[in-house]
Amino acid sequence: GNFQDLVAFQKALWPIGPALSPASFLFLGDYVDRGAHSVEVVTYLLAQKLISPSKFKLLRGNHETRIQNAHSGYNPCFKDSCEKLFGHQVGHEVWESVNQVFDALPLAAIVDNSIFCVHGGIPAPSVLRSFCTGDMKPGPAALIAEINKISRDLPQPDPSQPQGDQLAWDLMWNDPAPSVSADKKVEGMGADGFGHNQSRGTAHMFSSEALDQFLRRSGFSHLVRAHEVRKTGFQVQQHSRMVTLFSSSGYCGANNEACCILACEGKLRFIRLEHNAEEVAEASAAAAEQEEGDESDDDDDIEDEPERANTFPANTGGKG
83-102 tens-digit pLDDT? 999 999 999 999 999 999 99
Q: What is the pLDDT of residue 124?
A: 93
Q: What is the pLDDT of residue 299?
A: 41
Dihedrals phi, psi of 244, to nearest 5 degrees? -95, 125
Rounded to whole angstroms, the Cα distance separating 55 from 57 reads: 7
Q: What is the pLDDT of residue 266?
A: 80
Rounded to whole angstroms, the Cα distance separating 88 from 297 reads: 39
- What single-letter amino acid sits at 66? R
Rounded to whole angstroms, the Cα distance separating 178 from 238 reads: 10
Contacts of 281 (CB under 8 A, 6+ apart): none
Q: Give the Å distances, CA to CA, from 161 to 12, 77, 116, 158, 317.
A: 42, 22, 28, 6, 9
183-200 tens-digit pLDDT? 456 777 898 999 999 889
- DSSP β-bridge partners for residue 304: 294
Q: What is the pLDDT of residue 294?
A: 36
Q: What is the pLDDT of residue 273?
A: 87
Q: Are 47 and 15 in contact (CB under 8 A)?
A: no
- DSSP β-bridge partners for residue 195: 189, 205
Q: Choose among 318, 280, 309: nearest CA to 120.
A: 309
Half-sphere exposure of 261 (CA within 13 A, CB side): 25
pLDDT in 10s for each residue of the chain, 320 residues? 899 999 999 999 999 988 899 999 999 999 999 989 999 999 999 999 999 999 999 999 999 999 999 998 998 999 999 999 999 999 999 999 999 999 999 999 999 999 999 999 999 988 886 666 556 677 899 899 999 999 999 999 999 999 999 999 999 999 999 875 454 567 778 989 999 998 899 999 999 999 999 999 999 999 999 999 999 999 999 989 999 999 999 998 888 999 999 998 788 899 998 765 445 444 444 443 333 333 334 443 333 345 666 643 332 233 32
Q: Choose among 63, 12, 76, 2: nearest CA to 283.
A: 2
Rounded to whole angstroms, the Cα distance separating 242 from 220 reads: 11
Task: State the distance between the two ends of the chain, measured CA to CA, in whole angstroms.
Answer: 19
- Return the H-helix or E-strand segment holding 74: none
Q: What is the pLDDT of residue 309?
A: 66
* pTM for the predicted model, two decimal places: 0.85
Q: Apex CA 154: angle with CA 152 and CA 157, to 5°?
A: 130
Tell me the catalytic residues: 63
- Return the H-helix or E-strand segment holding 181: none
Q: What is the pLDDT of residue 267?
A: 85
Rounded to whole angstroms, the Cα distance separating 225 from 309 reads: 18
Measure CA 1 to chain center. Answer: 13
Which conformational region is residue 272 in: left (phi greater than 0), alpha (psi within -120 to 50 degrees), or beta?
A: beta
Q: Choose among 21, 107, 12: nearest CA to 57.
A: 107
Neighbours of 250 (CB within 10 A): 25
